[in-house]
Amino acid sequence: MIPVILSGGVGSRLWPLSREHYPKQCLPLTDKEFSLLQNTVKRTNSLDVADPIIVCNEDHRFLIAQQLQNLGVAKSSIILEPVGRNTAPAIALAALEAQYRNQDEALLLVLPADHVIRDVHAFEAAILHAAEFAKEDKLVTFGVTPTRPETGYGYIRSGENNDVAEFVEKPDLATAQTYLDSGRYLWNSGMFLFNAKTYLEELKSFRGDIFESVCAAFKQRNQDIDFVRVDEKSFSECPEDSIDFAVMEPTRKAKVVPYSGDWSDIGAWDALYDYSDKDESGNVLIGDVMSEGAKNSFVRSESRLVAVVGVDNLVVVETADAVLIMNKDQSQDVKKIVKRIHAEGREEHMFHTTVHRPWGSYQTVDLGDRHQVKRIMVKPGEKLSVQMHHHRAEHWVVVSGTAKVQNGDKEILLTENESTYIPVGVVHALENPGKIPLELVEVQSGSYLGEDDIVRFSDRYGR
């Protein structure tokens, strides 16, 4: 069995915590130690599984690779989608990768990276049940036993012998109540189990256009460090469709296996509130938070003290550069704010003030018209690209650790409280040759301070 983790989304309804370059699946939303993605991978550890296949986008590749390494997962296949084309093409890439590994008959356990499942034993039981059907060339989807008349999920009506009688789109509240009362409907979880060969055969039968485009893209597969790249042009021409519409609805091989444990896709702040442990006033308080008379609210602080007094049914989320305050019942409308931020040319929907890179991270401390101050952390043994800038000069001051610096034709070592100045147009590089993290302050000055003013001459990360 091969875990296939779909990690292509950005989770904009969980802004300001979830950003385009640091999406919700990479955040520790329900766990202080592990992200949603990491918990999804950990959930398969007790099963007899092969190395996982992760399907994600280009922007998240180093972040996801680092999170897998932190789990001790060293041999995963991380497939990069050049563009998002929904789940049917993404799963097809994973199936072709399984064939490339000579694991054509292996069962693919397809799991979205952002789901939360606490009842692991019930989940394992459902997987083992589904495996009996999948070994008979069936395409199995997992249906979650509903606990309320939910309007935010699609439903599956189950028939005899685990047959799928009907897929139903998200209903209104009255219809959802009738589904719950009937006992015949399950929430559509978006999790699947089947072998690679069967899925590709059914995709070819019902959506030959998707099959041909994905095969053409995968034919030019190449390995880039930890990542599997496919042809951008061919994949960009692939039609966009979900596995439900493309394969599961038209196929005669569909089966549904119920899962009765707790489950959530943590799609928005109200869902995270519902899933979290609450205090005696019905509050979820995370971080440096003080509450006086507040009730039924979700309050999360990331960087400073947040105080709430006498409020009810609110979501308050604070980060270093943005604060969200809203009625909990309007969680779906966060997307409207994100769209406005994007339309106005701002960047708060894309980055946090701390930006993660494969070599470490940097945090913007101050930003003006002609200057920018950053705190930079370089992990032991890592090195930034050899580069130069057309519009800015840089002054580096080491706070802790040791810096190996290329500054033009000179190579120097800097330690705590030592500095160097890099003029505009001078080729330079920064490396941490030590055993502890290197921390330094960078002061940029010039007419243009954008991250795209970088000319790279060499880069160990293939950027």
pLDDT tens-digit series, residues 24-74? 999 999 888 899 999 999 999 888 899 999 999 988 988 999 899 989 897
Fold of the 2-259 domain: Spore Coat Polysaccharide Biosynthesis Protein SpsA; Chain A (3.90.550)
459 — pLDDT class (breaks 50, 70, 90): confident
Determine the Cα–Cα distance for residues 440 and 374; give it in Å rounded to an integer.
8
Q: Where exactly does CATH 2.60.120.10 map onto the chain?
A: 354-458
Q: What pLDDT, on the 0 to 100 scale, is given for residue 102?
A: 87
83 — pLDDT class (breaks 50, 70, 90): very high
Nearest CA to 23 out of 75, 58, 51, 52 is that of: 58
Nearest CA to 167 out of 151, 186, 182, 192 is that of: 186
Q: What pLDDT, on the 0 to 100 scale, is given for residue 32?
A: 84
Q: What pLDDT, on the 0 to 100 scale, is given for residue 125?
A: 94
Kindly list the distances between the CA atom of residue 178 and the CA atoms of 96, 148, 155, 188, in Å, as whole numbers in the listed order: 41, 11, 12, 16
Pairing between β-strand 298-301 and β-strand 284-286 as defined by DSSP bridges: parallel
Q: Is the pLDDT of residue 10 over 90?
A: no
Q: What pLDDT, on the 0 to 100 scale, is given for residue 267?
A: 87
Determine the Cα–Cα distance for residues 374 and 396; give it in Å rounded to an integer.
10
Report the pLDDT averaged over residues 83-108. Answer: 93
Q: Where exactly does CATH 3.90.550.10 map onto the chain?
A: 2-259
Q: What pLDDT, on the 0 to 100 scale, is given for residue 383?
A: 96
Q: Are 146 and 187 in contact (CB under 8 A)?
A: yes
Helix, coil or strand: residue 88: helix
Determine the Cα–Cα distance for residues 274 and 266; give it in Å rounded to an integer.
9
88 — pLDDT class (breaks 50, 70, 90): very high
Report the percentage of the chain scoring pLDDT > 70. Answer: 100
Q: What pLDDT, on the 0 to 100 scale, is given for residue 24?
A: 93
Helix, coil or strand: residue 98: helix
Q: What pLDDT, on the 0 to 100 scale, is given for residue 106?
A: 87
Report the pLDDT averaged over residues 192-206. Answer: 96
Helix, coil or strand: residue 409: coil
Contacts of 374 by beta carbon, 8 Å cutoff, 6+ apart: 362, 363, 364, 365, 441, 442, 444
Q: Are 443 and 399 in contact (CB under 8 A)?
A: no
354-458: CATH, from 3.40.50.720, 3.20.20.70, 2.60.120.10, 3.40.1180.10:
2.60.120.10
CA 109, 114, 118, 119 torsion-angle sign: negative
CA 150, 84, 89, 77 torsion-angle sign: negative
Determine the Cα–Cα distance for residues 339 and 30; give it in Å rounded to an integer.
26
